[in-house]
Structure formats: C-alpha cells, structure tokens
Structure 1
C-alpha cells in the first residue's frame, strides 16, 4: 500500500500542472512534479540490494598498512574486482585520525575472526609487525611493498661497548632525492663523527670512543642542504672494562714488555711479569695482584690464575714437555689464552696449534721501513716496523694487516674453547714515545680481546628482537638454571612479572614474553642478572622493519596449508547482507523538484 502513495502523488501533481490555464512551461511543471514525487519515494522507501556472501575457501581481502600507495591500491582493486573488501591495520592510531570509509583492524588476531573464510590477504605498505605474522599462519600473504621509504635502511652497532674502546655504528642510507647528504653521529651533546654520501644513497660507518660508563642515547642525523632529513636514536650501555689477569713471560728484559706492563697496570689489570736475566736467574714483578703465586714452571694451577699469557718465541721454545702440555690444556679448556710475539725467524714447535701459522720473513730494506697497520676501528697514524708476515690460512682469523697489499701481521686460531694469537709486530712502545696512546691502546685491545678466553655468564638475559616497540610482544631468553620470576621495569618505574617458559631443547634456557607499554629504557631482572634494553617509539627505525616483515611473510607462506583449512572449517558460515540506497538522495531530488515548481510559479 505504501508503494501506491508516491504514484498517487505523481499523478496529482501532473494533473494540476496540466489543468493550469497558462500553457507556458507545462513540460517543466510536469517534470518538476514527477521529480519531487520520486524524491519523496526514495526518501521514504529507499531501495536495497543483496550482497552475496564470500565463497568459503576463495575469499580475498586487502589490508592497508602505513606507507601504502594509492596507485598500488587502485591497480590491485582493478585486477581483483571492486567488491574485494579493504581493511586498514592501525594498532595505535586513534579513530578520529582514520578514514571513516575503511574498517580498521587493531591486531592481527582479529583478521581471522572478522573474515572467517579468508584465504588470500594482500598487504600494502610497510607491512605488519613481524611478531603479528604467526597469527596469520596458513594464509596466502602477498606483500605489495612500494619503494622503501627514505631514511636509514639498515644500522648495526654494539649495544654494550666497553669504556675506552672504539665503538662503531654502520649501515646504509637512502635519500628521497639524488643529492649530497651528510650523516652525523651526535653523542654527549655534540657531533663526534660524520660522513658524506655524494649521491644521497650508500653505506656509512661512523665511530666514537665512549668516555663515561652508563646508559646513553646517541643520535644518527641526516642533513641535506642545511635541512634535517631524519634523526634516529642509538641507545647504548657503556660497560666498565673488566680487568684481565695477564702473565708476561720474557726471555730477556725489553722496552716492549716494560711499556706493556705499565700500560696494563694503569688499566687496573692484574699483571705478573717473569723476566730472564741469565741462565737459571729470573726476576719477577707483580702489579695489582694480591697473594701472588710463585712464577716457576708453568702448571695447571698457575695458569688457572691468569686469563692471558703473553710470551716471546725464546721463552716458549725453552718450555719443557710438561709445561707445554699444561699450556696446551689450559688453552683448549678455555682457562687461558695465549699471545705470542713472534720475534724469531721461526715459530717454536711448542706453540699450541702452531701448524696453522707460517712466518714469511721480509727483506731487510722493507723491514726497516714503517708500514701502515689496519684493523677494525684502527685510529689514524698506526704505523710500525714489520719484520715478518703470516701466511694466510683457512683456519686463521685475520686480526691486523699491513701495507697496501693487506699482508697479515696478526691472526688468531681457535683451539678448543680458547684461542692462540700470533703477532709479528715486536715494537709497539714507539707509539707511547711519540704521544699516540690511542693507537697503542687500540692495538693491544684488539690482540687481548682475541686471546681472551670466553667467560659465559652463569645467568644472563638476552632479547630476541633487535627493534622492540610499544604494544608489541617482546621475547626474552634467560640462560641459566635459576628459579624465580622475570621482573621488568619501565621508564615510569612500574614493574611487572613475566612467567618463564622452559626450553624443550636446552634445559638451562627459558623464555618469557613482555608487552612494553611505553618507549624508553626498560630493565629486566631475574636473580642476580640485570639487563637494560631500549624500546623504540612507533615512528623510529622503520627502515629495518620492512625486510623483517617480508622475511616473516615468506616464512609464513611455507607453513602447513592445513592450518588455514582447519580455521575455515571451524568458522561459522558467512551470510549474505543488504546494501540500502542512501536516503539523502531522495531528499535532494525532492528539494530540486519543489524548488523548480516554486520558481516556475513566480516567473
């Protein structure tokens, strides 16, 4: 019955328009009346059409993530069809900031709940967090990444450097437009190092030597034409150096070991020095070493009190069979490392693992000329006399090279749990005489670090994510058989306890999941172990996140296809819906028709 009212209204308006004595604009009056009647009909009884349900097992959807391209979306919808559902992934944005015409997913777990028949998901933009990808295991994920956003693509650095040692941050940068870009490392309130990328894109390497222990947040800046492009935080926790226990064995007095002894003692290392004076007569000296042992023959008990043994070729060649066996066992067991100063034409046969090392003597004229030395984080001006070089070998780890040809002058070899280091540089004390303490310290830090045996902590905490973010699950691994919960404290001081899950393969390991709420420094504690880590704000370090998402999506695509089939089988069937014509179209048509009737009567 309601459908007859608009028809009767249209008939009435048409009759009134035709009965008027004025025959001018009669057609306009009839058309305006019909338009007004049609508008009222659409407003009161808007038409609707059925929306077919998604076919189970063949549903396809599009998910928009930050940084997507509208052109990519238009091209994808033209190939998939305009009826393909489009959703937006926005876990942190407010509702007011989002487009009202696109439904929103706040987390990846809700995708299957709202789209139970989903089989293929096309993801546009920078992608999902890698931690959310396992929730979509079994789906066909199709990333559609546009060109990576301008900024730092990759960056690596030591998050726990040692005080006084050179620290390096390296990676790659890409600018939006071609042109020179300056990259700067800002630490302790000022610029410490910089690098220029002529084309705006390329690799970089910046270094700085921390001067104070504790936590700090450095910054990587990119500038072009005096304009700041991007600024990213670089958090580190500078560790106070742990003093080593060093045993120096010299066949004769030398300036080399004298300067080395004073340098190590100045860094609070425990030093024991045994110097041969004549046959059967030796001199001993102890620095920072309470209750010093007797420096007679090398024994397992004596070697257990030191971390590194530094000796020359003549002293090593004079060792007896029992001393050689004790030294080899100490290195293999990880009790002590060995550093040999190769000051003889040949290497002693008593050298543990000596078959891997081979000396090559240099001509006298070449050996009398100082050569530049190169090693990671080597300061400028590192030159020294090179009397011999080492032959490269597959089981040797290069440490220091010299000359333009990169000839090997110091290398290390793993022997059991320990390491043996051989260096052909026999005179480094001139660096101290020339006022180059930075070169001297960096050189011996490189050698001692390679010879030092590993000291695994009885209890430690490690992060399994390089870029933790707020409201994203963070996995932590606890190494060590210690009972008790894992306690975490955020920047505001609030603490939470996380349950630990034992590892099925390594009994000494356990893991826990933590959801940080805010960015900044967080502390994890379990037993006597403490570990500080930094949580990045949502907009920081987005460049390295995109490769992690693509890798996670590729791994999810290789999971068992039965996971998606089982999820679809357990899901309730989808039902058809209805789409109703907007009522404002009817109101607009009625106003236009009524307005024309009023205007025509006034003319």
Structure 2
C-alpha cells in the first residue's frame, strides 16, 4: 500500500467517525437545530477530507512529450541548441565530448527511460544499425551534417564470376569538374570518366582471376590532384560452367568463334552443325531429356527453321521448364518459325536488311588499360598492344525490331542507352527465357585482337538466358564493419562462420524472423571471413570500424534520412507505453481545504439553523 492510499484510508476512517459522532451530538443538543444544519455538517466532512488528501497528494497530469534529442557521431552539446523547454538531451556511445549530458548505450534504452516519447531529434552524423529498429517506432527529425568531399556511395556488384565484366556504380560529393578512375589489383587504371553535375559514375572492370581481388576507385579534381581513393575488396567466383547446346544450319565463322569462346570459358558444349546433304557434325539429340539437362540452347536461324514445328514445340516446352533459348537471327525467318517466339508483349518484325553496328568500346584505350582489361593473353595468342590499339572493326546487325512491355534489351558492358540498337532482346517464358540475337560477324573481334570485346558482347547474353541455378548459400551485405551487427538471412542449418583469426561462430536464427531465417553476427576483426556449410564456402569481407570514414558517414546519413522520411511503425507485440506524468500544484487544494475548514469552524459556532435559543446562563456546548 502506498503512502497516498494509507492517508486516504485514515481520512476515510475519520469521516466515518465524524458521521457517527455528529448525529449523536445533534440529538443531545438542547438548542434543537434544524435537520439541514446536520446534513450540511455531514457533507462538509468528506469535502474536508478530500481537500486535505488532494493537498497532500496533488493529482498527477500527463506531460506532453517533448522532443528527445540524441547526440550521435560528430555532434557536441552546442549543436543541440535549445532542445525545447521540457526536452531531454542524451548522448549515444558514438558521440564525442558531450559534457554533462547523460549517456545511454542505445536508442532503445533512451526510449524506455522516457516512455511516451513520440519524436526523436537526431543530431550529428546519423544512427548506426544498432539504433535503427528502435528509431522506426517514433517520428524522426534529422538535420544532416554537410557531406565531406569524396566518395559518398559505392555499390559493388552482387556476384562476379571469373572472366566476366562488371560495372561499379557510385557517387562523388564536392568535386566539380573531377574525374573518377577504376584501378585493378595491380594498380593499373582500367577505366575512367568525367564526373557529371550530380557526381554519379559507373566504371567498368573485368574479373580475370578467381579468388580475392582488391580494386580501387580514385577521384581526381579539376587540377588532376587526388582527392580520395577507396578500396573495393571483391570475391571472384570460379564460374559455374553452363551446359550449352549449339545448333547451326551450316559451318560459318560466327559459329566457330562462339564455340571456341564457350569452350575457353569452361562451358560444357555439345554442338550439332549441318554440313549439307544430310551430313552433320556432332550428334547432340534434341530429346526432352537432353534439353532438360542443358542450361542454354543457342541456335541460328537456319537450324531453327529446320527443326520443324514439332522440334520447335519440344524446345519451347523445355524453355517453360527452365531452359534458356538464344536464337541467332543471322538471317530472315518465315512467320511460322517466329510464331512461338512472339508474345503479346514481345512483337518481332523486320529482319530483312543488314546495317553496320559498332560494339561499344572501353573509355580508355591505352596499353595499360587494355592490358588490365584483357590480361596477358594465352600461349598461342599473347597480348599484342599494337593490335589491341587498332580501330575496332564494325559488325553487321540484322534489322530486327522487337517491341513490347516484355522486351528487355541485352546490353554489352555499360548501357548504350538506345534499346532499338541493342544487340538482342529477351523475355521470360515460364521458368525459362527466350532471346533474339541480331548481331552477326562478331567473329571479327577476336580476329582483330579484341577478345575482351567479344566476351563483353556475349557474356551478358549467356549469363542472362542460361538456366538459373539456385544456391544454398545466403546473400551477405556488402557493407559489413567491425563491431556492427550483420544480418544474414536464409541462414542454412549447420553453417558456421570462420574469422581471419581462426575463431568460429555459429549464429542463432532469430525466431521472430520466421521463414526468412535471419541470424545476427557481430564481427570482431577485419578481413575476409568465410561462411561454411559442408564443402560449400561463401567468403565475405568485413571492413575495419574506422575504414573509409567519408563513405561510412555518408551511409549513416542516407540510412537516417530514409528513416526520417518513413512513417513510424509499431513493433510486433509492442504495447502502448504509459505517458510521463508529474504532480500538479498543491496550493489550490490547500486554499480549498482552508476555506472549507474555516467555514466549518464558523458554521459550527454560529446560530444558523437553530430552532430555539439557549439561556444566557447555559454555557455554549461544542457540537463536535
């Protein structure tokens, strides 16, 4: 029982005693008071008790929640300013010198200490991942600090296979007239571009070897002075060799070059090339079993027409089960051959004419850049700088026109920006994909020493259309840092993580994540970690806590701005927290009690309500 409840009980007992005593005194009073006098005295007793209790324990009233200000990295108490009259200022662990400001271990603790808070003002660089779940439940106000000049966004490709080209996107802040450059692991500049007004860039590189590779992005200003450089650790997978069926209606240089490139890239190739007169090279059957065992079927126009209606129907049925189909439209085809390829969102027209087509080349054509893109070559075809620096010959392109909502352009390397001039298009069909290829004479590229451009032309098409293979390994965030929680979803049973120092960790799946099966991991050392599940290995890199400070602060800023722009959400199973209250003022209740007590004292001694006066000899009697 609280003090207030104890006092209330005592006052209630006092009122009951008064209610018993007053009627008894009323009967013994010789002055014969009127009934209303007794009833008024009885009514005054609980009023006096209530006023006394409210004076001792004034009613509490809710306090309007003021903005809770939190100091983050880079903020000081001077940055908080007037946090509001009733505001509270707290410092998170990342804040620097905060003076006498109370510190809290995280934002969730701050919200628990101040229930009822509905708005949080973030001061400084922004909220780290630890505090973002708690911040999503309240309205967030964030005035970001200005970004420092340098690289503020870097988006590495999600997965890179050996021998494939990749595009690295990012943004630079505060370097007008600058230039972004991509350096390969040997320090060679393989790509560069001037920075536009918004600072965005897209640089192209090639993954030549399997394993870990550290590329770098360097930014120079208008005077060619180095402003910033960011390291980009990448893991290059050994490419999973696709199983390719190659059909050609006749021997030709394009088929020979394509077959050689596929074999050199590690693909398992089965070819069937018609030689005429019913003779063919290779015996790749087109049964349903063979098609289901393949990942991609590449067929030229003559061979596709020669399959007949039943053969094309068999192939399209396999496509719906997951096979990829790439039709090389090197010749015009009759309408019946295109019937199964067309769809309401994928119209095909043209194909009769031929015009020159130029493959997009690299922005840098110096020997150093070309060697970084092409490598050292092979024993029978070593890198020849003189040949590589020659002008790239134009290719031929059939005048196919593909339009519709389902048509997606196949772009070599960087985006050309004109879908009508793309080398090909594709669309989805069931679980597989269908593509139409318009470029011919691509064999001229390796003949002129530009095997890199040939690979850039064909790699996206093969990778896009080949049968998708599911991976049992989960995807891991690319911005992992020491000391920050790393969420890994689709966590496999029995997997564990090996740190560079040899320590093992087996994260536990959060039951609240449900079917997503997300586990949390807090890396303690920087470097390459390995997620192992049996014989399967998924490497991922963890950066040091203080690595790339400009990029890290920009990531905090962007993440906090996204939180501030989103409406607050309620956490699952969360209850409404009680609002902050404070005692009211006691003096109004004291004044009320004083007035009531004075009136009761005067009324008891007055002659109001007395039916008869007592004699002057009779002494006055106290009615209490």
For the criterion TM > 0.5, the same-fold answer is yes
Once the two structures are superposed, what CA deviation does each residue of 1:408-453 show, in whole Å capped at 9, x if it has no partner? Answer: 4411111111111111222211112222211112112122112211
Which residue of the partner structure matches residue 190 of structure 1? Answer: 187
Once the two structures are superposed, what CA deviation does each residue of 1:456-509 show, in whole Å capped at 9, x if it has no partner?
12x22122x442222222211126xx642x312222221111112468764xx5
Aligned: 1:303 with 2:310:
no
Secondary structure of the corresponding residue to residue 280 of structure 2: strand
**What corresponds to 2:451 in structure 1?**
437
8 Å CA contact retained: 2:154, 2:168: yes
> In structure 2, what is the equivalent of residue 584 of structure 1?
none
Structure 1 pair 231/575, CA: closer, same or farther in 2 (3 Å)?
A: farther
- Aligned residues of 1:58 and 1:119 also touching (Cα < 8 A): yes
Task: Give the distance between the partners of 1:447 and 1:232, measured in 2 at CA.
Answer: 31
- The corresponding residue for 1:65 is 72
- Partner residue of 2:100? 101
Q: Does 1:261 align with 2:268?
A: no
* One of 84, 90, 93 as aligned partner of 1:90: 93
Paired residues of 1:313 and 1:347 also in contact (CA < 8 A): no
Distance in 1 separating the partners of 2:131 and 2:496: 24
Q: Check if 1:341 corresponds to 2:321.
A: no
Using structure 2 for the length normalisation, give the TM-score.
0.70
Which structure 1 segments of 5+ residues have no match? Answer: 1-52, 285-293, 577-603
Offset at 1:210? 2.2
1:455 to 463, 469, 473: 469
Matches of 1:561 and 1:258 in 2, distance apart?
Answer: 61
Q: State the 1:536 CA deviation.
A: 2.7
The yes-or-no answer on 1:520 pairing with 2:527 is: yes
Conserved? CA contact 1:138–1:561, under 8 Å: no
- 1:497 equivalenced with 2:506 (yes/no): yes
Q: How many residues align?
A: 489
2:424 is equivalent to residue 410 of structure 1: yes
Residue 247 (str. 1) matches residue 257 (str. 2): no
Please state how far the C-alpha of 1:551 moved relative to its aligned partner: 1.9
- Are the counterparts in 1 of residues 77 and 98 from structure 2 also a CA contact under 8 Å? no
User: Structure 1 pair 361/275, CA: closer, same or farther in 2 (3 Å)?
Assistant: closer
SS in 1 for 2:577: helix
- Find the residue that maps to 1:211 and give its secondary structure: coil
Say whether the 8 Å CA contact 1:184–1:191 is kept in structure 2.
no
Match of 2:275 in 1: 277
Measured in 1, the distance between the counterparts of 2:248 and 2:271 equals 8
- Maintained 8 Å contact 2:356/2:396: yes
Cα separation, partners in 2 of 1:512 and 1:302, compared to 1, 3 Å: same
Matched residue of 2:250: which SS? coil
| Aligned partner of residue 240 in structure 2, secondary structure | coil
> Which position in structure 2 is the counterpart of 1:387?
398
Q: Output the CA distance in 1 between the equivalents of 2:582 and 2:194.
A: 55
Instruction: State which of 476, 479, 486 in structure 2 corresponds to 1:467.
Output: 479
Q: Residues 66 and 88 of structure 2 are in contact (CA less than 8 Å); yes or no, is this contact kept in structure 1?
A: no
Provide the C-alpha distance between the structure 2 equivalents of 1:54 and 1:521, rounded to a whole number of angstroms: 56
Alpha carbons 1:69, 1:146 under 8 Å: kept:
no
Matched residue SS, 1:252: coil
Q: Kindly tell me: are residues 376 and 450 of structure 1, through their superposed partners in 2, closer, same or farther at Cα, counting changes over 3 Å?
A: farther
Question: Which has more strand, going by share of residues?
Answer: 1
CA distance in 1, matches of 2:403, 2:504: 53
**Alignment partners' CA distance in 1, 2:194 and 2:423:** 32
Q: Which residue of 1 aligns with 2:5?
A: none
| 1:516-555 → structure 2 map (5 Å cutoff) | 516-539=523-546, 540=548, 541-542=551-552, 543-555=554-566
SS in 2 for 1:462: coil
**Against the structure 1 CA distance between its residues 330 and 477, is the aligned structure 2 distance closer, same or farther, given a 3 Å change threshold?**
same
1:389-410 CA-to-partner distances (Å, cap 9, x unmatched) read: 3232211111149898943441
Does the CA-based 8 Å contact 1:461-1:530 persist in structure 2? no
1:358 aligns with 2:348: yes
- Matching of residue 331 in structure 1 with residue 319 in structure 2: yes
Whole-Å separation in 2 of the counterparts to 1:90 and 1:193: 42
Q: Relative to structure 1, is the Cα distance of residues 374 and 417 closer, same or farther in structure 2, using a 3 angstrom cutoff?
A: farther
DSSP 3-state at the match of 1:566: coil
Shift of 1:353: 2.8
Distance in 2 (CA, whole Å) between partners of 1:517 and 1:180 is 40
Cα 1:278/1:301, change in 2 over 3 Å: same
Distance 2:396 2:77 in 1: 63
Are the structure 2 counterparts of residues 219 and 55 from structure 1 closer, same or farther at C-alpha, using a change threshold of 3 Å? farther
1:487 aligns with 2:499: no
Deviates more, 1:489-498 or 1:215-224: 215-224
